[in-house]
Amino acid sequence: MRDGRNWHVFHDGEHWTLVLKEELAGADVDAAGGSLAAPMPGRVIKLLVEPGAKVKKGAPLLILEAMKMEHTITAPADGLVKEIRYAAGEQVLEGAELIRLE
């Protein structure tokens, strides 16, 4: 299971956490495009910003519940929240654009 830069591996009752190297951590994030996609299917449980908010890289934007865990979706770059596409309580599919930044 993936959680941001961390991969959680469970096997025979044991748990390991693997962390992507810094140069690989953002490889699948399109910061230039200003959009954020759901890393896996889940449910938006809390919005932490509103349209028009200025955010810094790494700022928490929303919390997604997936696989019985909460995942904080953060800003890939400094920017302005242009659009929030889902409300709290809504289900999202993997790859769904959650927030648009400019």
Residue whose tokens read 């025979």: 12
Q: Tell me the whole-structure pTM to 2 decimals.
A: 0.63
pLDDT of residue 21: 63
Residues 13-39 have pLDDT tens digits of: 888 888 766 544 444 444 334 458 888
Cα end-to-end distance, the chain, whole Å: 29
What are the structural domains of the chain? 30-101 (2.40.50.100)
pLDDT of residue 89: 94
